[in-house]
């Protein structure tokens, strides 16, 4: 095994070999750095990379005991997470060179678990809409999606096996889908948000990227301390329900085809696949998510909005203006609607373990000026349910396609297990289930 | 009217005179600064005061149009809120000299509304237990309570008419009670937390201090953008229910006497006063709050816990160790219990508008090594209900006593109205109702 192929290995496999001292952290980190050196000028997934510091840290780990779940694993961290050893600019020129006083909780916990932070990955401006310029490694003329553009692209391009991001609307699931990797947005509240640039308190959620479901479970277990997420092996076939959602008319032929492929593939593999038609109430959640985010952004980004208006992108400024027009009464109504929908969604699952639903309208769209539509993610973020994007096919032009698996609130392990089961069955690759 | 008496005026009255240009912001700020100059060496309510900057800001405001609800009003901000123009140390030597890149949402919004930030007020270490050394201005040998020690003391000692703090357990209501001022903890989620040092995401809540209920409503309206909070005048007598809670056996003679005084005083003033005995479920919430906070602190303070253990107080270290022993499963159970209690509490109110319950065991205890018991606040923080401490009497040794008024979730205006009504009726001062 040469270090040049270590960058394509899953995090879980790397961890096994690192724990047995069959490979060194330095080798793993060198493999990551070599890939970044080769490809970063084209992909643009990073705001900064600290090669020397990462190598020093890797050598230190190699000389000590195994530190934790992520011992020696290269990690990318989205640049909305505060880090003491990297500048943290939140995708905005307002914060150029900002060096926070403390690591975000996720950064600190991942480092404690032995991760080697390679650098910070790109984000749209404040994790909202204005793109970072990152390219989709599967086709460089196309968007990687956002807002966690760099984390998805870096994992898809074999630069790192693991990366963290966030999701307020569709910022984990969409870039995972466009780049063809696994993305996992946990149940709201499962992972601490301390030290993340806040955009919308009701919605901001930490997200995880890897190339297998087992790997996102590993990363999430380290970041949350919930080791139940390590067990991604389903006991028997999960009970699925296809949930096309009220947004289904917006799904293009690729998404329709992916859904058909999943339905027949899962049924063929022995799973029970039902269908869930959501009550009308759920057709209102997309708009509620937009308004709740806009209302809360006006407040969360008050400092920047008030003092640095000229350095805010036009697109974000428009959203902030929209947010300014939403009254406290209307926000209250939106929150009450969301509460009601959250209360009722458990019963909607019926006897199903998980739902499968579109992640995106279709393949990653061409161009770098827009990160694509968030329409298929807004509702699930607002509901706070665990979502796992599973890539398993390609669209008409050959770009990655997949679907998201959605679990009950708090049933993150079950969602990961169903996603891993589906990933293995639909890709025919027995390794991806592990 | 000389500027020396302006420091004792309510914020609402100051605002009226400032809006009519009967007084200047510079006069108001000079009055605050003079009082601080006189008393700060004894009280110790501030981590820093920026006299020159505050005066410059006041003169700037005097030369322009009325900026907003807080135009020209001196304000203190607890040192767990990020501020770009003051060091922000979170009550910990780990963060000595920290200067954040952005104002917290509350600081930015209050400044936008025209507030003149006089300085940062003291906090216990990370707004948890280890005291800041601040003294109770009503009796300097006694604790002012915590964690928002400086905000409560500064308002009580006539240094500023308004101050902001936070509450995770009892950090607004308790110091308000011990210092004899009005403290208001809004419904969870009403006020943005962006830029506050996170301790416990499920619990951390922004709080407000003033000397009248109308004034806390004014400050909260500016900080949230919800102008409904400006209307603190009740239409008719509120329907109260005394709620002694399962912790009542811990209430001392002063709290018992205050409750009796309130019951007879409110009934005598024409209010309907019932009694609410909470279901047994609610007896479990105090312990759940302790465990949820400990569990979440382990994660929120991960950077400090892992990297600066030696500079964490022994008392906080013990709490973090306790938090480390709480499993993800147990945390999930605690959160489920809290969810259930939140769902059911609305029905417990029955036909009552608000509850009245103890704020503290009794008067502020002597000594500065401990900020007093949080036992009567934990449950209400966990429930996320709006709480307003109303000071209206004194205890056996002459220190301030009062009770908290608790509203339904989201019914903050109604809670403030009932608190203002009660404040006026029980103190006999018609001005405090306004």
Which pTM does this prediction carry? 0.97
CB spacing of B105 vs A302 below 8 angstroms: yes
Quote the pLDDT of residue A1.
Answer: 42
Q: What share of chain B is helix, strand, coil (3-state, %, to 5)?
A: 45, 15, 40
Query: Across the A/B interface, how many CB contacts are shorter than 8 Å?
Result: 113
Residue B38 lies in a domain: no
| CA-based nearest residue in chain A for residue B100 | A100
Say if residue A145 is preceded by a cis peptide, omega within 30 of 0. Answer: no
Residue A231 lies in a domain: no
CA atoms within 13 A on the CB side of B37: 10
Verify that A48 and A189 share a domain, yes or no. Answer: yes
CB spacing of A226 vs B328 below 8 angstroms: yes
d(Cα B287, Cα A167) in Å, to the nearest integer?
32
Nearest to B226 among A98, A328, A343 (CB): A328
Are B184 and B127 in contact by the 8 Å Cβ rule? The answer is: no
Verify that A168 and A185 share a domain, yes or no. Answer: yes
- What number is the ipTM of this complex? 0.96
Closest-CA distance, A420 to chain B, in angstroms, reads 22
Closest-CA distance, A126 to chain B, in angstroms, reads 13
Closest-CA distance, B321 to chain A, in angstroms, reads 14
Residues of chain B with pLDDT under 70: 1-4, 430-434
Residue A173 to residues A79, A161, A182, A255, Cα–Cα distance (Å): 17, 17, 8, 14
Q: Quote the tokens at residue B337.
A: 């219990």
Verify that A208 and A244 share a domain, yes or no. Answer: no
Domain boundary among A298, A333, A368: A333
Verify that A399 and A387 share a domain, yes or no. Answer: yes
Residue A434 lies in a domain: no
Residue B415 lies in a domain: yes
d(Cα B97, Cα B89) in Å, to the nearest integer?
7
Verify that A259 and A393 share a domain, yes or no. Answer: yes
> What rounded mean pLDDT belongs to chain B?
97
The length of chain B, given as a count of residues? 434
**Mean pLDDT, chain A cut into blocks of 10 residues (434 residues total):** 74 98 98 98 98 98 97 98 98 97 98 98 97 97 98 98 98 98 98 98 98 98 97 96 98 98 97 98 98 98 98 98 98 98 97 98 98 98 98 98 98 98 89 48
Verify that A43 and A186 share a domain, yes or no. Answer: yes
Closest-CA distance, A101 to chain B, in angstroms, reads 6
CB spacing of A95 vs B101 below 8 angstroms: yes
| CA-based nearest residue in chain B for residue A203 | B189
Nearest to A108 among B95, B193, B302 (CB): B302
Number of Cβ within a 10 Å radius of residue A330: 14
Active site residue A147: yes
Number of Cβ within a 10 Å radius of residue B268: 11
Verify that A187 and A128 share a domain, yes or no. Answer: yes
CB spacing of A410 vs B332 below 8 angstroms: yes
Read off φ and ψ for residue A76, nearest 5 degrees.
-105, 140
Nearest to A332 among B302, B304, B410 (CB): B410
Query: What SS3 class is residue A105?
Result: helix
Catalytic: which of A171, A200, A224, A313? A171
d(Cα B113, Cα B128) in Å, to the nearest integer?
30
Residue A433 lies in a domain: no
Quote the pLDDT of residue A67.
Answer: 96
Find tokens 């090594």 and name the residue.
B369
| CA-based nearest residue in chain A for residue B87 | A101
Which residues of A are less than 8 Å from B299 in CB distance?
105, 109, 192, 194, 224-225
Verify that A89 and A157 share a domain, yes or no. Answer: yes
Residues 296-355, chain A: which have Cβ within 8 Å of B?
Answer: 296, 298-304, 306-307, 328-329, 332, 335, 343
CA geometry: angle A82, A55, A113, nearest 5 deg: 55
Residue B392 lies in a domain: yes
Are A342 and A120 in contact by the 8 Å Cβ rule? The answer is: no
Residue A149 lies in a domain: yes
Verify that A13 and A127 share a domain, yes or no. Answer: yes
Alpha helices per DSSP H over B10-70? 11-19, 25-43, 51-63
Verify that A108 and A181 share a domain, yes or no. Answer: yes
Verify that A171 and A39 share a domain, yes or no. Answer: yes
Residue A393 to residues A360, A374, A430, Cα–Cα distance (Å): 13, 20, 16
The DSSP code sequence of A332-369 is HHHHHHHHHHHHHHHHHTTT-SEEEEESSSSSPPBBSS
CB spacing of A303 vs B104 below 8 angstroms: yes
Nearest to A192 among B104, B108, B300 (CB): B300
Q: From edge to edge, which strands make up the β-sheet containing A162-167? A: A46-49, A116-121, A74-78, A162-167, A205-210, A182-185, A387-394, A400-407, A354-358, A239-242, A272-275
Catalytic: which of A32, A92, A147, A148? A147
In chain B, the number of structural domains is: 1
Q: Can you give the residue range of the structural domain that contains A110?
A: 3-226
Catalytic: which of B10, B78, B92, B244? B78
CB spacing of B195 vs A84 below 8 angstroms: no
Verify that A342 and A329 share a domain, yes or no. Answer: no
Say if residue A305 is preceded by a cis peptide, omega within 30 of 0. Answer: no
Quote the pLDDT of residue B5.
Answer: 87
Residue B19 lies in a domain: no
Q: What's the CATH number where B349 sits? A: 3.90.1300.10
How far apart are the two ends of chain B, measured CA to CA in Å?
21
d(Cα B199, Cα B394) in Å, to the nearest integer?
33
């Amino acid at each position: 095994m040469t270090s040049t192929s270590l960058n394509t290995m899953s995090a879980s496999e790397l961890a096994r070999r690192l724990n047995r001292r069959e490979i060194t952290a330095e080798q793993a980190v060198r493999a990551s750095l070599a890939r970044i050196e080769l490809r970063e000028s084209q992909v643009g997934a990073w705001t900064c990379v600290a090669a020397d510091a990462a190598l020093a840290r890797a050598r230190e780990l190699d000389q000590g005991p195994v530190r934790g779940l992520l011992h020696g694993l290269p990690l990318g961290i989205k640049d909305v997470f505060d880090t003491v050893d990297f500048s943290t600019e939140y995708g905005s020129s307002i914060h150029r060179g900002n060096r926070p006083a403390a690591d975000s909780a996720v950064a600190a916990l991942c480092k404690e678990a032995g991760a080697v932070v390679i650098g910070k990955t790109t984000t749209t401006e404040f994790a909202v809409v204005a793109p970072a310029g990152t390219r989709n490694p599967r086709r460089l003329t196309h968007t990687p999606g956002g807002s966690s553009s760099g984390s998805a692209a870096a994992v898809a391009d074999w630069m790192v096996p693991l990366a963290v991001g966030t999701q307020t609307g569709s910022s984990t699931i969409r870039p995972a889908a466009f780049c063809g990797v696994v993305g996992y947005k946990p149940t709201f509240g499962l992972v601490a948000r301390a030290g993340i640039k806040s955009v919308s308190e009701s919605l901001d959620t930490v997200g995880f990227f890897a190339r297998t479901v087992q790997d996102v479970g590993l990363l999430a277990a380290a970041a949350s301390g919930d080791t139940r997420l390590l067990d991604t092996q389903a006991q028997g076939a999960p009970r699925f329900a296809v949930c096309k959602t009220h947004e289904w008319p917006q799904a293009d032929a690729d998404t329709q085809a992916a859904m058909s492929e999943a339905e027949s593939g899962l049924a063929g593999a022995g799973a029970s696949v039902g269908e869930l038609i959501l009550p009308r109430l759920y057709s209102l959640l997309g708009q509620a998510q937009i308004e709740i985010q806009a209302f809360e952004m006006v407040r969360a980004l008050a400092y920047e909005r008030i003092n640095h208006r000229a350095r805010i992108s036009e697109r974000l400024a428009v959203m902030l203006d929209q947010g300014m027009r939403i009254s406290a009464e209307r926000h209250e109504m939106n929150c009450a609607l969301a509460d009601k929908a959250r209360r009722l969604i458990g019963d909607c699952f019926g006897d199903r373990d998980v739902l499968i639903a579109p992640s995106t309208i279709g393949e990653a769209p061409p161009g770098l000026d827009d990160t694509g539509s968030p329409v298929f993610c807004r509702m699930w973020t607002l509901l706070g349910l665990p979502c796992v994007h599973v890539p398993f096919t390609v669209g008409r032009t050959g770009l990655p396609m997949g679907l998201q698996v959605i679990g009950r609130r708090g049933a993150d392990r079950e969602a990961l297990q169903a996603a891993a089961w589906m990933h293995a069955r639909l890709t025919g690759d027995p390794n991806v289930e592990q």
